[in-house]
Amino acid sequence: MSECLFCRIAAGEIPATLVAENDQAIAFQDVNPQAPVHVLVIPRAHHSDVSEMVAADPLLAGQVLALAAEVAEQEGLADGYRLVFNTGAKAGQSVFHAHAHVMGGRDLTWPPG
């Protein structure tokens, strides 16, 4: 059994609220939302962060981005949304399985903290 939290969610071993999926990626609600819409999009396959995913499998990265855009449309974020890949501990990454945060539903300030 994998020790990676998001691998376990992708395998259905840990529950999550699924929002959308495609062959290679799944989207689920963030357990600690920072905006009215806060969805995580992850590859089903394990990659530690977005840089490693792009280097290993750029087509997979495209599948993740495609699903993120689909989630934004499905969640009614036509007015704007933020797509964030925290990459590395210094950037706030806490789960080392590549994931995009899809955030929206409120005004989002810039620059982020």
Spatial CB neighbours of 88, under 8 Å, sequence gap ≥ 6: 49
- Strands 81-84 and 37-43, how do they pair? unpaired
Encoding tokens for residue 65?
A: 């981005």
Measured distance CA(70)–CA(86) in Å, rounded: 20
The Cα–Cα gap between 50 and 85 comes to 7
Q: How far is the CB of 17 from ligand AMP (least distance, A)?
A: 8
**Among residues 1, 23, 31, 58, which is the contact residue for ligand AMP, using CB under 6 A?**
31
- Residue 1 DSSP label: -
Cβ proximity to ligand AMP, 78 vs 82, nearer residue = 82
Least distance from ligand AMP to the Cβ atom of residue 14, Å: 6
Binding status of residue 86 toward ligand AMP by CB under 6 A: yes
Q: Is residue 94 a contact point for ligand AMP (CB under 6 A)?
A: yes
Residues annotated catalytic, as ranges: 99
Choice from 4, 22, 24, 30 touching ligand AMP (CB under 6 A): 30
Kindly give the residue spans of alpha helices, DSSP state H, lying in 1-113: 5-10, 50-56, 58-74
Q: Is residue 93 at the binding interface for ligand AMP, with CB under 6 A as the rule?
A: yes
Residues in contact with ligand AMP by CB under 6 A are: 5, 16, 30-32, 40, 86, 92-95
